[in-house]
Structure 1
Amino acid sequence: MLRAIPRQIALILFALLILGPLSVVFFATLKTTQELYGEPLALPATPDLGNYARLFESENMIVYFLNSVVVTLGSVFLILLCGSLAAYAISRMGGWVAASLFAFFVAGLLIAPQVYMVPLYTIVDALGLVDSLLGIILVSVAFQIPVCVMILTGFMRGLPRDLLDAAFVDGATEWTTFRRIVLPLTRPALATVATFSFVITWNDLLFPLLFLRTDVNKTLPLALLEFRGQYLTDYPLLFSGVIVATIPIVIAYVFLQKYFIEGMTAGSVKG
């Protein structure tokens, strides 16, 4: 019992460390710009939701929000589809071919995206996908596939081999085995990858800043940059946009946290 007290104190301090800045940001959305600059850490004298109303009235936030939804959901779907197929093939093949393929995918983690921005832009421009949501989706998928393959391959290698062999004996094809047996058993790992990819894609600023040009195609993180001024920044409005952008991430984690934790735990022992 006494051994748990230092751990609980550490968790409380960590929670306060996280909740402190979040509380400041949230209460700032209920203030005016003058009130925020005058008393940045004080509670709002008269809480007002006008910043949220102004956010959707004067800005194209609905368009930006929908663009982020399309890019994020499209990227997550393709990442799970392509990554799970590649991981299943690697886990089933074995031998030096599987090891080479696995090393090929994992090698994508060794290079930061900032290193290949110029050749990446050249390729996307040659394909005519600059300033399009499809281009952002394909780039996001290519960037996150290595992590997906690494996690799913480690999980699928830990699946009972006899179960898969029994499916083949009963006449199941590779596709049937993958769809009806492997995918349901891999659900925790898929949720882990989905949560990771959702957060990364939703918060991504580098690729939209590099490829998107027109307002109609901007995503939410890129649109929030417009709230910065050269001499004065409307922080209550900016913080309101940050809160709105955070809500989908919180909702996704609440629904997927059980599978996320299971996937991370299983992946740590089933490499």
Structure 2
Amino acid sequence: MGFNLTRRTVLFVYAVLIIVPMVVVLAGTFKTTQQLFSSPFGLPDKLDGANYRQVLGQGGLGGAFRNSAIVTACSVPITLFVGSLASYGIARIRGWVGHLIYGFIVLGMAVPAQANMIPQYVLFDVLGLTNSLIGLVLINVVVTLPIAVFIMTGFLKTIPGEIYEATSIDGSGPWRTYRSVILPLSTPSLAATAIFLFVIHWNDLLYPLLFIQEPGKKTLPVALLSFQGEFLTDYPLLFTGVVVASAPIVVAYVFLQRYFVAGITAGSVKG
């Protein structure tokens, strides 16, 4: 009885800590700066979309939203494709060779991004890929590939070896096995990995801030910095920009949460 009461109390406090800031931010998108500071926890007087129109229009967030959508829409599928191929190969290679390849790729997760920034920038500058959305796509794929391989390899190793043997007996080659058998079976793992990649690519600030100088090619996280000045911050516009930037992530998770939970738990138990 006492344990259940304590657990409910902790969960209630946690829910309040999550819900109250969300309500303040959402309500703040319909307020002026004066209304926000005079009544930060109060409801807006009216649901006026002036802040949204200003952010998407004059604030330049519309173009930044488009740039983020282009970079994310290209980065996620490419990373999933390359990562699933690598994971499929690692899962098929038995013994120390497979472990060595897997460890070499996943080692990239242990290297801080800041440690590679200077050589990466020099290399991309020589190749003419700085200040380019294509350059952002390539760097996103390179940086997040170890994460994709780490998640998907854990799932693919749970697939029984008899399935691979059966496809070989039926005359299927590695590519057909990958396309017709592995990909359908890996749907939960792919969806879970896609959500992780989507959040990372969509919220990435470091590389767009480093690689992009042209205002018209800035992504959402970089564009949000323009609402925060050295001496004054327009919090209603900043809250509005945060809501606009967070909306795609929320929508993606709502539609893919079933696969997300299945993908996270699938690779935790060996078959």
TM category (shorter chain) comes to over 0.9
- SS class of match (1:116): helix
Alpha-carbon deviation of 1:7?
Answer: 3.7
Superposed CA RMSD in Å reads 1.6
Counterpart of 1:105 in structure 2 is: 105
Give the Cα separation in 1 of the matches to 2:187 and 2:232. 48
Counterpart of 1:42 in structure 2 is: 42
Counterpart of 1:167 in structure 2 is: 167
Counterpart of 2:125 in structure 1 is: 125
Pairing 1:58–2:52 present: no
Give the Cα separation in 1 of the matches to 2:244 and 2:111. 32
Counterpart of 1:203 in structure 2 is: 203
Moved more, 49-58 or 145-154: 49-58
Counterpart of 2:83 in structure 1 is: 83
- SS class of match (2:230): coil
Counterpart of 2:16 in structure 1 is: 16
String of CA shifts for 1:9-36, please: whole Å, max 9, x gaps. Answer: 4333322211111111111111101222
Scaled by the length of structure 2, what TM-score is found?
0.95
Give the Cα separation in 2 of the matches to 1:247 and 1:191. 18
Alpha-carbon deviation of 1:99?
Answer: 1.2
String of CA shifts for 1:55-77, please: whole Å, max 9, x gaps. Answer: 12212222111110111111111
Q: Which amino acid aligns with 1:157?
A: K
> 1:195-234 counterparts in 2 under 5 A?
195-234=195-234
Shift in CA distance, 5/181, structure 1 to aligned 2, threshold 3 Å: farther
Alpha-carbon deviation of 1:2?
Answer: 7.9
Counterpart of 2:257 in structure 1 is: 257
Give the Cα separation in 2 of the matches to 1:256 and 1:7. 29
Give the Cα separation in 1 of the matches to 2:269 and 2:211. 39
Moved more, 40-49 or 54-63: 40-49
Alpha-carbon deviation of 1:45?
Answer: 3.3
Give the Cα separation in 1 of the matches to 2:143 and 2:70. 17
Segments of 5+ residues of structure 2 without an aligned counterpart are none
- SS class of match (1:41): coil
- SS class of match (1:213): coil
Give the Cα separation in 1 of the matches to 2:41 and 2:56. 26
Give the Cα separation in 1 of the matches to 2:102 and 2:211. 30
Alpha-carbon deviation of 1:229?
Answer: 1.9
Counterpart of 1:143 in structure 2 is: 143
Give the Cα separation in 2 of the matches to 1:215 and 1:182. 42
String of CA shifts for 1:138-167, please: whole Å, max 9, x gaps. Answer: 111111111111111111111021112111
String of CA shifts for 1:177-200, please: whole Å, max 9, x gaps. Answer: 001101111111111110000001
Scaled by the length of structure 1, what TM-score is found?
0.95
Q: Which amino acid aligns with 1:225?
A: L
Runs of 4+ residues deviating >4 angstroms: 1-6
**What is the aligned residue count?**
271
Pairing 1:30–2:39 present: no
Segments of 5+ residues of structure 1 without an aligned counterpart are none
Give the Cα separation in 2 of the matches to 1:134 and 1:21. 36
Shift in CA distance, 5/164, structure 1 to aligned 2, threshold 3 Å: farther
Counterpart of 1:181 in structure 2 is: 181
String of CA shifts for 1:231-267, please: whole Å, max 9, x gaps. Answer: 2111101110110111100000001101110111112
Alpha-carbon deviation of 1:4?
Answer: 4.9
Give the Cα separation in 2 of the matches to 1:37 and 1:9. 31
Counterpart of 2:115 in structure 1 is: 115
Q: Which amino acid aligns with 2:162?
A: D
Q: Which amino acid aligns with 2:267?
A: G
Shift in CA distance, 8/184, structure 1 to aligned 2, threshold 3 Å: farther
